A = this chain, B = another copy of it.
């Protein structure tokens, strides 16, 4: 048994391409339909209501194209609106990026102390904290919003003094907590890995929520017998939709995806907005 339909993935921007990259690595035959809302990113500074609305518009766009699974690769939407999206998309599995990383961290922490960093909306929503506590109430969770990390990565400033100072500024409070695991609750943050590890120390295991999500997708497709089978080149047949082809687009996409992006198509916000209006009516 196999299922040749594509996997849908959306993110506020291009950071979710790290999830796509890992899926291509783990399951080379899988096709992906990716939607990056580059005309409205970043989501992490917006209201819960708007995050829910944008997330649902993205979900609606992808589910209209006969996908077999929906991955919400945006930490902000996963933290704020995953239940809401699941209620409205009940025909296929919907995976967020929060649960997979929490499972991995709970398995790995010896000290029972886990750190979580993310955008303002992700941290304010408290989804990582709640998910970890539900698994093991003895674990202490230390959360910290790092709102400047996304623009720093978007601007490619990873190797500058600005990054070192910003990472130290945000993570200073986490250093003395005794955490032995730190979840990167944002798909942009792996690009700051070196600077983050330098501040928190080598004894802290850093977990990339995107990578663990790809593994979760693999497990679920395996359990459902819904893998794409073998022999196809999933990447070559994948499509990447964006709401804006920004000047930085190619450079940024290639950085997150790890290879040169192809099959890109721009879709208008009127399409996304219209889709949800009619769905809500």
The one of B121, B165, B244 in contact with A47, judged by C-beta atoms closer than 8 angstroms, is B244
In-complex Cβ contact of A148 among B124, B151, B244, B270 (8 A): B151
The 9 closest A-B pairs by CB, nearest first: A151-B151, A50-B244, A270-B273, A165-B165, A273-B273, A40-B40, A147-B155, A162-B166, A46-B244
Check if A220 is an interface residue, CB within 8 A of chain B: no
Q: What residues of chain A have their CB less than 8 Å away from a CB belonging to chain B?
A: 38-40, 45-47, 49-50, 120-121, 124, 147-148, 150-152, 154-155, 157, 160-162, 165-166, 169, 243-248, 269-270, 273-274, 277
* Residue in A50, A246, A248 whose Cβ sees the most chain B Cβ within 10 Å: A50
By a CB distance below 8 angstroms, the chain B residues around A162 are 148, 162, 165-166, 169
- A245 to chain B: which residues have CB within 8 Å? 47, 49
Q: Could you say which residues of chain B place their CB within 8 Å of the CB of A46?
A: 38-39, 244, 246
Contacts of A147 in B (CB 8 A): 151, 154-155
Smallest Cβ distance from A122 to chain B, in angstroms?
12
A246 touching B152, Cβ below 8 Å: no
A54's nearest neighbour on chain B, judged by CB, is B39
B154 touches A45 (CB 8 A): yes
Nearest B residue to A276 by beta-carbon distance? B270
B165 touches A155 (CB 8 A): no
Q: How far is the CA of A154 from the CA of B147 in the complex (A)?
A: 10
> What's the Cα separation between A47 and B247 when bound, in Å?
6
Q: Does the CB pair B273–A45 fall under 8 Å?
A: no
Q: Contacts A46-B39, A50-B39 hold; do A165 and B161 have CB atoms under 8 A apart? A: yes
List the B side residues contacting A152 at CB < 8 Å: 148
Contact A124 B247 (CB under 8 A): yes
Whole-angstrom distance from the CB of A198 to the nearest CB of chain B?
16
* A163 to B221 CA separation, bound complex (whole angstroms): 47
Task: List residues of chain B with CB within 8 A of the CB of A154.
Answer: 45, 147
A124 nearest in chain B by CB position:
B247
* 6 A-B residue pairings within 8 Å (CB atoms): A47-B245, A148-B151, A148-B152, A148-B157, A162-B162, A273-B273
Given the interface pairs A148-B162, A151-B147, the reply to whether A120 lies near B273 with Cβ below 8 Å is no
